[in-house]
Structure 1
């Protein structure tokens, strides 16, 4: 459904997007991730026809974003980081206006608007002025305008900004329900949302793809270790001796306050050795109050791939900022 090949964008001497290559299959939800200034928003603007690329190609549903820009825009629903709202209009009036400029026929316009308001929890706010809505409800209006014309491709830039936890869950469920019939690119800094929503992720840094795969594969390739945090009371010496002889233990860290201890044990591999560690604690004569098992997460992978020292070149990616939009 979406194919990006060698996509490049320059701002003068600054290379904001550098030779991007990735694909998104029909019906897939792709997480598009990167730190501030990495080139995410610039990429999404090129995909939506907002700005032309300096090089390379991108096609949406078979149409080239540069040569067939109008056809591409007709097939995309786009929610930018700052929703394009007319605050003096009512929710319903604004969505009717958006539906009309997006080519929804007069006979289909009201049903499409009602559908979009229903999906985004706006039906009871249909006659309210947008300027009187909370930030969370304005964000919902932004999502509604992106889906009102039932596009095959939906591109969402930070769709849960300003929402409370209940609203975040509702938007997450909405996005997941749209998959299958729609191809979705989701850009967000809330990594747990990506883990719970997306089939696959693309991570970019300094305008280049640094990883693309399913979340499970990225996590397993990143760090094949497991950490156990044990909260204990008693004499630690017998346990420390036993852990030194325990196969697969890479590291042991201890924080103590008198007879109270927090011991972090790092083991190689993904095999759960919690029962064996519990047995060692009992044999050592300590009291175990709590044990937590922690494996690598998408956040760990993201930080590993994108944490670099900020340079003046990074700061030059000014067009990525909200102020530029």
Structure 2
């Protein structure tokens, strides 16, 4: 449904996006994840036809943007960062306008507005002036306008930016539901958000793709190093650090903040070892021999933050 093929965007001598390629299929959510300036918004603007590409091709539902922009754009719903709203209109007036602007047939506009009001949870505020809405309801209204014409493709640029935790959760849940039958490309700099909402993640740094895949694939490719969180009671930190750092299967040991009577350690498993499962019995045996009381011990997989740090280390 969405295809980027060797896409580059230059602004004078500056290369904002460099030879970027990816695809998003039907019923799939792909998250563009990267810091500010990584090229996320520029990529989305090229996808929607707002910016022309310098090199490469962009296609939507089989239509190349530079050849059949109208056909491609009619199949896209776009939620740009900081979507403008007509604040003097009511929610329902704005959505009627959006339906007409998106060429929804006059006979179907009422049904289309009713559908997105229900889908985006706007029933309680549909007759309110947009100027009186909370940030959460404004963002719901923006999301509603992006799907008023029932597009096959959704392009969402920082869809939860500026919202409080509850509002973010509401928008995230709505996007997940929409992703069941649409191709969705969303951008975010929030790692937990990318992991929660997307099927696949594309890591961007300085306009280039540094890694792409599911969370499991990214862990396998980039950060297959597991760590063990070990909590002990009434144990000398210096003694414990010295003992654990002598184990061949341990890459490093870090002390974490904890209560006064507790010692919390993060034990990183060496990359060339078979995994953390073989190290757990060894740690348990060692603690028993030392008469150290274990409060807790658990294996933690690499987080998206760990993966992103590893992927961008050399870029």
Per the normalisation by structure 1, the TM-score is 0.87
Tell me, yes or no, if structure 1 residue 53 matches structure 2 residue 58: no
Q: Is the 8 A contact 2:33 2:190 kept in 1?
A: no
Q: Is the 8 A contact 1:27 1:181 kept in 2?
A: yes
Tell me, yes or no, if structure 1 residue 295 matches structure 2 residue 314: no
What's the counterpart of residue 135 of structure 1?
A: 135
Paired residues, what number? 309
What's the counterpart of residue 157 of structure 1?
A: 157
Mapped partners of 1:246, 1:42: distance in 2: 48
SS of residue in 2 equivalent to 1:53 = coil
Task: Tell me by how many angstroms 1:238 deviates.
Answer: 7.4
58-67 vs 291-300, which moves further: 291-300
Q: Is the 8 A contact 1:236 1:286 kept in 2?
A: no
Tell me, yes or no, if structure 1 residue 277 matches structure 2 residue 278: no
Q: Is the 8 A contact 1:75 1:151 kept in 2?
A: yes
* Segments ≥4 residues shifted beyond 4 Å: 235-242, 244-247, 254-260
Task: Tell me by how many angstroms 1:125 deviates.
Answer: 0.3
What's the counterpart of residue 310 of structure 2?
A: 304
Mapped partners of 2:137, 2:298: distance in 1: 38
SS of residue in 1 equivalent to 2:87 = coil
What's the counterpart of residue 317 of structure 1?
A: none
What's the counterpart of residue 179 of structure 2?
A: 179
Mapped partners of 2:73, 2:94: distance in 1: 19
Mapped partners of 1:61, 1:85: distance in 2: 28
Q: How does 1:62-141 map to 2 (within 5 A)?
A: 62-141=62-141
SS of residue in 2 equivalent to 1:225 = coil
Q: For structure 1, which runs of at least 5 residues remain unmatched after alignment?
A: 310-325
Give CA-to-partner distance per residue, 1:116-167, whole Å, 9 cap, x none. Answer: 1112111110011111111121111111111111100001111112333233
Cα 1:124/1:266, change in 2 over 3 Å: same
Q: Is the 8 A contact 2:231 2:265 kept in 1?
A: yes
SS of residue in 2 equivalent to 1:59 = strand
Task: Tell me by how many angstroms 1:221 deviates.
Answer: 1.8
Mapped partners of 2:293, 2:148: distance in 1: 59
Mapped partners of 2:219, 2:262: distance in 1: 33
Mapped partners of 2:179, 2:192: distance in 1: 18
Per the normalisation by structure 2, the TM-score is 0.89
Mapped partners of 1:294, 1:102: distance in 2: 47
SS of residue in 1 equivalent to 2:169 = helix
Cα 1:237/1:307, change in 2 over 3 Å: closer
